[in-house]
């Protein structure tokens, strides 16, 4: 790792990975494990060693996990494996050269590489409404945001969460567990609408309310109110209601970081467009993780040919496939996507993609908060949203690697283990 005085020294490297997050760390270690022997350099603009983001909205806010414990790897791991990690340094410009590319960083350094990987993640969206930049309106993407959110949470009595997606609901559950009065305002007619089926959303609406969190769907937010000191005091809705808040957590989605791709003239469309070897439109630059728009690695819905997946699983799997591309042994990226979201005592695990389903089977008891929603398309099982049902999740995840056609009545029958039902279906 560079010291301050070394920061401006130019560098020459083999693979240069821009972005020090989940995908970057995975790619660097997979390349080393596979015997890649040239220098690898990661440049990340955050001041910390690469760390896990998922606990930021859960264990960290609850005080169960400290930031220092979230690092993927120690600095010794990186130096022992010949992986240079430049922290607090932003790549500001990039251009192709005859042999590769050259980037320039905020520290005034030029880095020449023979392979460039963009693993730059995404930035949280803000809302174009009056008061959106007031003190106390906080997005959550990185460790700095989590510290600010945690400090505010300690002092707030009323918390409004704008956005009922994974991160919004995780923050809401954490705040509620800490005894705050919490209101979730969601503009859409359902919670987590981008990620789960309507049946799962409906269950979550009920379960979230049962946990003492107020939820308004179809919310039309017109502004954020502030006091004379510029501090947030509430959120104003189109019908004139003002929901009081000393903290507003914004969880309204992210925008993929595409500036460097645009400098390179790469195709960009809701992310950096790549093929199933993670190659961008120039056939040379790679893009992985949250910033990449890729051919669906799990093509079960013919109308969903491309996806941008925001998950640990995709960052890891796509990085592993990208390593094969760099090593000259490309393998098309095919994988059953999976996700999780811990919201207080509700552990949601999702296997597959439910987009395009035409049938839903409910297995278990929603009222007891132990339920699995199984999604089928033309008689084939394509996805499951599992709540507090890890065995069902493991069984579905395994089975989805094949073409599973199964009697819906057996899927709903909890007297038989799902693993047994699915094993029979796969071998049938």
Considering only residues 223 to 262 of the shown chain, the ones binding ligand FAD according to CB under 6 A are: 257, 260
Q: From the list 17, 156, 162, 167, which residue makes contact with ligand FAD (rule: CB under 6 A)?
A: 167
Asked if 18 is part of the footprint of ligand FAD (rule: CB under 6 A), the reply reads yes
Give the nearer residue to ligand FAD in terms of CB position, either 79 or 106: 106
Residue 111 pairs in a beta bridge with 11, 103
Give the nearer residue to ligand FAD in terms of CB position, either 13 or 311: 311
Asked if 371 is part of the footprint of ligand FAD (rule: CB under 6 A), the reply reads no
**Which of the stretches 4-12, 50-58, 273-281, 387-395 binds ligand FAD when contact is defined by CB under 6 A?**
50-58
Q: From the list 199, 276, 290, 385, which residue makes contact with ligand FAD (rule: CB under 6 A)?
A: 290
Q: From the list 20, 234, 271, 297, which residue makes contact with ligand FAD (rule: CB under 6 A)?
A: 20
Considering only residues 291 to 310 of the shown chain, the ones binding ligand FAD according to CB under 6 A are: 310
**Which of the stretches 32-40, 153-161, 230-238, 311-319 binds ligand FAD when contact is defined by CB under 6 A?**
311-319
**Which of the stretches 20-28, 150-158, 402-410, 417-425 binds ligand FAD when contact is defined by CB under 6 A?**
20-28
Asked if 21 is part of the footprint of ligand FAD (rule: CB under 6 A), the reply reads yes
Give the nearer residue to ligand FAD in terms of CB position, either 138 or 395: 138
Binding mask 330-369 for ligand FAD (x = CB under 6 A): ---------xxx----------------------------
Q: From the list 13, 246, 293, 311, which residue makes contact with ligand FAD (rule: CB under 6 A)?
A: 311
Considering only residues 57 to 116 of the shown chain, the ones binding ligand FAD according to CB under 6 A are: 57, 90-91
Q: Can you give the binding site for ligand FAD, defined by CB under 6 A? A: 18-24, 43-46, 53-54, 56-57, 90-91, 119-121, 140-141, 167, 257, 260, 289-290, 310-313, 315, 339-341
């Amino acid at each position: 790792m560079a010291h301050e005085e070394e920061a401006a020294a130019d560098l020459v490297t083999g693979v240069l990975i821009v972005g020090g997050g989940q995908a970057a760390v995975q790619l660097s270690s997979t390349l080393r494990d596979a015997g890649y022997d040239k220098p690898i350099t990661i440049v990340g603009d955050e001041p910390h060693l690469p760390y896990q983001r998922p606990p930021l909205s859960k264990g960290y806010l609850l005080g169960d996990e400290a930031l220092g414990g979230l690092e993927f790897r120690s600095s010794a791991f990186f130096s022992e494996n010949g992986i240079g990690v430049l922290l607090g340094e932003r790549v500001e410009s990039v251009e192709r050269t005859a042999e590769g590319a050259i980037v320039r960083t905020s520290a005034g350094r030029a880095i020449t590489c023979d392979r460039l990987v963009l693993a730059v993640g995404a930035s949280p969206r803000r809302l174009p409404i009056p008061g959106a930049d007031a003190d106390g309106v906080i997005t959550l993407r990185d460790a700095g945001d989590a510290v600010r959110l945690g400090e505010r949470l300690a002092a707030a009595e009323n918390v409004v969460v704008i956005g009922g997606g994974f991160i919004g609901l995780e923050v809401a559950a954490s705040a509620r567990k800490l005894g705050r009065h919490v209101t979730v305002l969601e503009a859409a007619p359902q919670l987590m609408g981008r990620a789960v089926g309507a049946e799962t959303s409906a269950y979550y609406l009920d379960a979230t309310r049962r946990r003492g969190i107020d939820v308004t769907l179809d919310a039309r937010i017109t502004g954020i109110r502030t006091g004379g000191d510029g501090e947030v005091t509430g959120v104003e809705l189109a019908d004139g209601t003002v929901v009081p808040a000393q903290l507003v957590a914004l969880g309204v989605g992210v925008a993929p970081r595409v500036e460097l791709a645009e400098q390179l003239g790469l195709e960009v469309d809701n992310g950096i467009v790549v093929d199933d070897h993670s190659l961008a439109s120039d056939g040379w630059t790679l893009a992985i993780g949250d910033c990449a728009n890729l051919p669906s690695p799990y093509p079960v819905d013919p109308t969903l040919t491309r996806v941008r997946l925001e998950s640990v699983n995709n960052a890891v799997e796509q990085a592993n496939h990208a390593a094969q591309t760099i090593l000259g042994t490309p393998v098309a990226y095919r994988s059953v996507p999976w996700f999780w979201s811990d919201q207080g005592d509700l552990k949601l695990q999702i296997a597959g993609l439910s987009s395009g389903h035409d049938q839903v089977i409910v297995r278990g008891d929603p009222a007891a908060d132990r339920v699995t929603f199984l999604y089928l398309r033309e008689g084939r099982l394509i996805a499951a949203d599992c709540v507090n049902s890890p065995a069902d999740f493991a069984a579905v995840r395994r089975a989805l690697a094949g073409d599973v056609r199964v009697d819906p009545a057996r899927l709903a029958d909890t007297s038989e283990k799902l693993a047994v039902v699915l094993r029979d279906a796969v071998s049938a």
